[in-house]
Chain A
Amino acid sequence: MTYTRPRFRNPHLPVNEIGYTQKDYEGALSTLCAGCGHDSISGAIVQACYELAIEPHRVAKMSGIGCSSKTPAYFLSNSHGFNSVHGRMPSVATGAYLANRDLVYFGVSGDGDTASIGMGQFVHAIRRNLNMVYLVMNNGCYGLTKGQDSATADLGSKSKSGHTNPFQAIDLAGLALELGASFVARSFSGDKTQLVPLLKAAMAHPGFAFIDVISPCVTFNNNPGSTKSYDYVREHLEATATIDFVPIKSEITTQYDAGSTKDLALHDESMIRLHKIAADWDPQNRWSAMNALHQARTKGEILTGLIFLDKGLQDLHTVLDTTDKPLNTLKQPELCPGSKALEEINAGLR
């Protein structure tokens, strides 16, 4: 088995605006099973960060425990990272975000880490609208402990051992929508053309961006009868729309028929462009999004793409009216403004 990636790179690799190749966003060689959906998602994260020309040291990778939560080792080697306690990634992310608002927070979790042990933390991160990407690598099973059904396993889904799941699944996208998340999307690890623009849009979104990514467990949940296998997911995908992420200052070159596209401008003047939009769906209307989710579920389909976007919700720093600067840049004059400032504060309280 190969533990280290050869040093040589393709001499013709293109570079992004800041002079990095995609290889500069790579991590260590994965130790996950060969063909794991999680590795594809890592690849998509690498591609999205490369294409956005993010400086790797501007990113903080946060994770909990599980196969999914190992993946931050396998992308963005030059970024910050915190591998926290099982299900407790949102707490650590909250603290980090409050201390330094200038980083891009990239939370990676799994279906066990989020829908079981970490559920209490997850819902409060949504409620507070942390400015972060919260990505769930959702394979419907506990891969690290030999593939028991997780809380996102669909009712009736068959495991590798032949047993059928008797419980209702938690729909994390539906839950996020219900709890008021400001960006909700779902995708599939085997579809980078959809996942990469979604990741870029999620990173550009100034609030809690939730992406539920169906990621087949190639070892324990890729069998006939499973609803999270490569084949089943590919056969049951239904997209809300095809999505393009248009970064700041770039020209729109793709042409679509008039009336078939919808543009959603983000706060930094980048834009999400949707085309081939599903009928009766408005990405900025929570009821329409919920309706679309429920309808797809009833039909036995997996709705993917951008599901809901709320551009109006204020993020945690705005709500708390905290300092504009990262705490580590605050120096003595700002932290100890002197006795005159103290007198003014005291006078204000009289």
Chain B
Amino acid sequence: MKATDIKDPEYFHKVVDCQYACPAHTPVPEYIRLIAAEQYTEAYMVNWESNVFPGVLGRTCDRPCEPACRRGRVEEEPVAICRLKRVAADHKGDVKHLMPKPAETKNGKRIALIGGGPASLTVARDLAPLGYEIHLYDEQDLAGGMMRSQIPSFRLPAEVLNEEVNFILDMGIHTHLKTYVSSLKEVLEKDYDAIFVGTGAPRGRDLPDLPGRWEAAQSIHIGIEWLASVAFEHTSKIGKKVIVLGGGNTAMDCCRTSRRLGGDEVKVVVRSPFSEMKASPWEKEDAMHEDIPILDCHVPKSFVTENGVLKGMTFEKVHAVYDEKGRRSLVSTGEPDVFIEADEVLMAIGQENSFPWIERDLGIEFDKWEMPMVDSVTFQSTHPKVFFGGDSAFGPKNVITAVAHGHQAAVSIDLFCRGESLQKRPDPMTNLVSQKMGIHEWSYDNAVVDDLRYVVPQADKTMTLANRKVEVELGFNLSVGFKEAQRCLNCDVQTVFNTSRCIECDACMDICPTSCITFTTTGPEEELRQRLIAPAPNTSQYLSVSDLLKTGRVMVKDEDVCLHCGLCAERCPTAAWDMQQYLYSVTKACKLPGAVI
């Protein structure tokens, strides 16, 4: 193997598993340390700079960071990263003065944002302080997009959302609410310098051909539309017996909302096996905790109606069969069909993009799935002035992905408006700083605690089911939040090896608690991985290989289960190892004034 180039900014970035997995690359260990230091405001700002909606995401994020967490590979469960974010948001002080001010002088450029969700709001936040005049269009009464219309209040209280939306709108954004944009042509004619489309994936899937679908149409609803009508208080009750079709997070929100609007017997019915449902495991748990059974392997066959009144649905029972390539097919078990009674049915079986308002002769090309052709780096469409982001760019994902898109689209729009190449994007900000305080002292808490993951307390069920606006999760209190924060392994504090200083005393190899370090002769990676002190089968994690040492060997470190405990550096007599904190901040159009990154 060739010696690893640790100067490549992406190398150490990948070692910080949580940050690397996060679409917005939020510097997770950095804000977790700030929480442990009771610096909640600073922790909030590290988040806000990166992901714009810490309070929202600390309650509702899909948490791609947590399955990536190194702690999950050395112990049972990852750090509760998401809920620690909420600790920062709940306990922050005044943050308004830390945020960028609206530009005093405008730069004369006008930008239109279509859709008021997380992607558009991110673009607004990044561009407004630079002097852009931002016009935000949304059909609803309030900005927030799907964060408001699809996420129920018992998971995300309106005041939390309002606060974070208003941080952005207060930057002098021109809002055009209750304004449905029905023609992109008309918007283009208004001569904006650039247009950003962040309209999400607004069309919920239907089962139009299922027998009985249209006989009892008034009792059968599309999940996301129904959730929106609840959020905007057009709907306030539902029948006693409810079937929710679908196995994703929207289905979980639908069934739990139903329980709060009068549904006594709410059932989730899903085609796939329980373990393969798309919903996050914790969302499934929360639904079941509210006495909602999840019936898996049931394929809808028909809506049963009597005189135009819905009576229930029939389902075929199936089981999953996998071919040699692992592809799944659902095969009937041969059992008789199942009838389930229902007064109302909510369909949460997926959602799609829909662009009826974009004329097809404007120069924006669409692919065969009716999706716009969008560059995955610049987010520019085939019309140079029109950019896409969030769910509307590449299909339904999640809030944090929309934020990540927004940042990159903002960079592109800024470059575009300045007449510069969109391909020549500024480098990310990186910084590598030694944490050495003394011979055996580090400026971070390097001890590895044994605590298992702490459970977030919930409000009493009788209270939360009685009022859809009562938040279920209570969040960690400060002392539990501190203990959970201490579980973080500080993966951003990197083990940096200096070949020329090493005297090959083997002390680091002997001390490493997880046997990550081996001094040996080099070889091809595949073979080398087998003959380390502990074999390194996890090829998704790098091996760090040093230059040749005096004895002809190399130092090989398997990054997989390194605890970042600093023992290698403590036992090194020549400081050939050093613990250095690596900060990586994604390129953004606008930097925070006086921020740590």
Binding site for B on A (CB under 8 A): 1-2, 4-14, 22-23, 29-30, 33-37, 39-40, 42-43, 46, 189-190, 192, 216, 218, 222, 230-231, 234
Query: A5-B513, A35-B507 known; A10 and B534 CB under 8 Å?
Result: yes
Shortest C-beta distance, A51 to chain B (Å), equals 12
Shortest C-beta distance, A220 to chain B (Å), equals 12
Inter-subunit contact B504/A230 (CB<8 Å): yes
Inter-subunit contact B505/A40 (CB<8 Å): yes
Inter-subunit contact B509/A39 (CB<8 Å): no
Cα of A2 to Cα of B74 in the assembled complex, Å: 20
14 A-B pairs besides A6-B565, A12-B534 with CB distance below 8 A are A2-B440, A8-B74, A8-B75, A8-B561, A9-B515, A30-B511, A34-B507, A34-B570, A42-B510, A43-B506, A43-B509, A46-B510, A222-B573, A234-B550
The answer to whether the Cβ of B447 comes within 8 Å of any Cβ in the partner chain is yes
Shortest C-beta distance, B170 to chain A (Å), equals 46
Chain A residues in 8 Å Cβ range of B507:
34-36, 39-40
Inter-subunit contact B561/A11 (CB<8 Å): yes
Inter-subunit contact B510/A40 (CB<8 Å): yes
Give the nearest-CB partner of A40 in chain B: B506
Chain B residues in 8 Å Cβ range of A231:
503
Q: Is the interface of A mostly helix, strand, loop or mixed?
A: loop
The answer to whether the Cβ of B450 comes within 8 Å of any Cβ in the partner chain is yes
Inter-subunit contact A2/B565 (CB<8 Å): yes
Inter-subunit contact B515/A13 (CB<8 Å): yes
| Total A-B pairs, Cβ < 8 A | 110
Chain A residues in 8 Å Cβ range of B375:
none
Cα of A231 to Cα of B503 in the assembled complex, Å: 8
Shortest C-beta distance, A174 to chain B (Å), equals 27
The answer to whether the Cβ of B218 comes within 8 Å of any Cβ in the partner chain is no
Chain B residues in 8 Å Cβ range of A7:
448, 450, 513
Inter-subunit contact A9/B514 (CB<8 Å): yes
Shortest C-beta distance, B102 to chain A (Å), equals 48
Shortest C-beta distance, B539 to chain A (Å), equals 12
Task: Type the 1/0 row for B441-456, where 1 means its CB is closer than 8 Å to any CB of A.
Answer: 1000011101000000
Chain B residues in 8 Å Cβ range of A216:
505
Which B514-541 residues sit within 8 Å CB-CB of chain A?
Answer: 514-516, 533-537
Query: A1-B440, A6-B565 known; A11 and B73 CB under 8 Å?
Result: yes
Query: A10-B515, A12-B536 known; A35 and B441 CB under 8 Å?
Result: no
Inter-subunit contact A230/B534 (CB<8 Å): no
Task: Type the 1/0 row for B559-575, where 1 means its CB is closer than 8 Å to any CB of A.
Answer: 00101011100111110
Chain A residues in 8 Å Cβ range of B504:
190, 230
B537's partner among A9, A12, A218 (CB-CB below 8 A) is A12
Chain A residues in 8 Å Cβ range of B514:
6, 8-10
Among B503, B505, B516, B536, residue most surrounded by chain A Cβ atoms (within 10 Å): B505
| 20 A-B contacts (beta carbon < 8 Å) | A2-B447, A7-B448, A7-B450, A7-B513, A8-B514, A10-B514, A10-B561, A13-B534, A14-B534, A30-B571, A34-B570, A34-B571, A34-B573, A36-B505, A39-B507, A42-B510, A46-B510, A190-B504, A192-B506, A222-B503
Give the nearest-CB partner of B561 in chain A: A10
The answer to whether the Cβ of B479 comes within 8 Å of any Cβ in the partner chain is no
Cα of A7 to Cα of B451 in the assembled complex, Å: 11
Inter-subunit contact A8/B563 (CB<8 Å): yes
Inter-subunit contact A1/B441 (CB<8 Å): yes
Query: A1-B440, A8-B563, A43-B510 known; A35 and B516 CB under 8 Å?
Result: no
Shortest C-beta distance, A276 to chain B (Å), equals 16
The answer to whether the Cβ of B551 comes within 8 Å of any Cβ in the partner chain is yes
Query: A9-B514, A234-B550 known; A2 and B506 CB under 8 Å?
Result: no
Cα of A29 to Cα of B535 in the assembled complex, Å: 24
Give the nearest-CB partner of A5 in chain B: B513
Inter-subunit contact A230/B565 (CB<8 Å): no
Give the nearest-CB partner of B569 in chain A: A34
Cα of A222 to Cα of B505 in the assembled complex, Å: 12
Among A11, A22, A39, A190, residue most surrounded by chain B Cβ atoms (within 10 Å): A11
Chain B residues in 8 Å Cβ range of A230:
503-505
B573's partner among A4, A5, A14, A35 (CB-CB below 8 A) is A35
Cα of A234 to Cα of B534 in the assembled complex, Å: 27
Give the nearest-CB partner of B535 in chain A: A12
Inter-subunit contact B570/A35 (CB<8 Å): no
Chain A residues in 8 Å Cβ range of B448:
6-8
